[in-house]
Amino acid sequence: GTAAIIFIIAFGYITIKARQLSKEEAIKIVDSNAKYYAKELERKLGEDLVIARTLAKAFLEYKNFEGEEWKEMFVNMYKNIILDNKHITAFWNSWELYALDSTWEKDYGRFSITVKQQNGETLHQFSKRSLDGDSKRYKVYKEAVRELINDPYIENVGFMEKDLMTT
């Protein structure tokens, strides 16, 4: 009788301690993994932001090109970035028309360049948007006048139909 009670108490104690230790160990593992993947995500996002910031500086050079040469130069830059960064499948950007065309007198309207990797081929397209006014989403970005990263959203841009993108 007494030995059985001591055995049950000891077994119960060992079981509770083992469970407590494995729970603590599991929490440590989860915490460690969360920290690792947060750092990894931060690193990868940082690399992509370097690309975005570099392109933003490069955009300033469009004025130094004759006529339409700058458009092809940007298409080629985007193609090279897509080919060198497999996680980037497309680029889309837009330019205010009044900045490109001195005859455009409205504060809305954009010229856009879309470059997309599709079935092993890199495609591009030029188009105009917002000719009747800025969308609510774009107006927020435009008025912010600072770097922003927004939640992903689905958008139809050029030949990219219902693609998930961010701005």
**Consecutive 10-residue averages of pLDDT for the chain (167 residues):** 75 78 84 91 89 85 82 91 88 88 92 88 90 89 81 68 66
C-alpha pair distances (Å), 120 with each of 68, 83, 89, 124, 165: 27, 10, 11, 13, 20
Q: How far apart are CA 74 and CA 62, in angstroms?
A: 9
Are 104 and 131 in contact by the 8 Å Cβ rule? The answer is: no
pLDDT of residue 67: 80
Q: How far apart are CA 2 and CA 160, in angstroms?
A: 77
pLDDT of residue 94: 86
pLDDT of residue 92: 84
**Helix ranges restricted to H, the chain:** 2-59, 69-84, 97-100, 136-144
pLDDT of residue 161: 63
pLDDT of residue 167: 66
pLDDT of residue 147: 79
pLDDT of residue 164: 66
Q: What is the pTM of this model?
A: 0.69
Place of tokens 């990219």: 160
